[in-house]
Amino acid sequence: MIIICMTILKGGIFIMKVKYWMIENPITVTPETPIFDLRKMFKEKAIRRFPVVENKKVVGIVTLTDYLRFAPSQATTLSIHELEYLLINEKVKKIMTKKPHKIYPDTSIELAAKMMRDYHVGGLPVVEKDDTLVGFLTESKLFDAFMEVMGMREKGGDRITFVLENKPSMLADLLNELRSFNAKIISIVTTRAINPETKEIDSTKRIVSIVLDTTTNLEEVIKSLKEKGYYIE
């Protein structure tokens, strides 16, 4: 998928990089953090995963699932006092994932999303080249970035989705048409077309989704473009 997106930040323009969406200064634990304390942190902070840091460098990641897998298997026959004793004496290093997948601040959002999907993880530590932790990227932050790309974080806006012939000038031709209406564009996303019958990729077509500001006369735009042969979903 090709994403065309720029967002204004403090008077400047930036593209979609992890450093603009990550959680800075995330809450962390160490390998020596007692699992008893970890359990309290999951509950009090309402966070499902923590980077594990030693000397400011990422050495692992521990999730709520890691804890839940550990607690029942080790404590189902124990009393409450025995369970607490166990959790106090066992450390995070026992249940954490060592050498977790990591990304850099300048990693693109789409690559980060692909990594999370491919590796089936819900968050990625963001590190410098020396593995020093500088942030954490979560699924929720990815959703925020996706909403920004799709123009959903701005108030107002109408979406038009086109099926265009896949040729070098397809986008330029469409934008020239929209220019005649003084249309204000909030976002543009273009992706591959899928044949609805065969469910296969149709390489001769591209899907272009454009969000226009509500000041644009949408009905007039759609009517005119359909008359000129544009296919609008």
pLDDT of residue 185: 87
CATH for 2-148 is 3.10.580.10
Residue 204 has pLDDT above 80, yes or no: yes
Looking at residue 233, what is its pLDDT? 81
According to the model, what pLDDT value does residue 158 have?
87
Q: What is the mean pLDDT of the chain?
A: 86
Between these two residues, 80 and 128, which has the higher pLDDT value? 128
Note the pLDDT of residue 27: 96
Q: Any idea what the Cα angle at residue 150 is, between residues 211 and 201, rounded to 5°?
A: 95
The pTM assigned to this predicted structure is: 0.75
User: CB of 56 within 8 A of CB of 133?
Assistant: yes
Q: What percent of the chain has pLDDT over 90?
A: 59
Confidence of residue 51 (pLDDT cuts 50, 70, 90): very high
Confidence of residue 94 (pLDDT cuts 50, 70, 90): very high
Q: What's residue 7's pLDDT?
A: 43
Q: Is the pLDDT of residue 3 over 60?
A: no
What's the CATH number of domain 158-232, 3.40.50.740, 1.10.3720.10, 3.30.70.260, 2.70.150.10? Answer: 3.30.70.260
25: closest CA among 46, 47, 51?
51
Domain residue ranges of the chain, discontinuous segments joined by +: 2-148, 158-232
Looking at residue 15, its pLDDT comes to 62
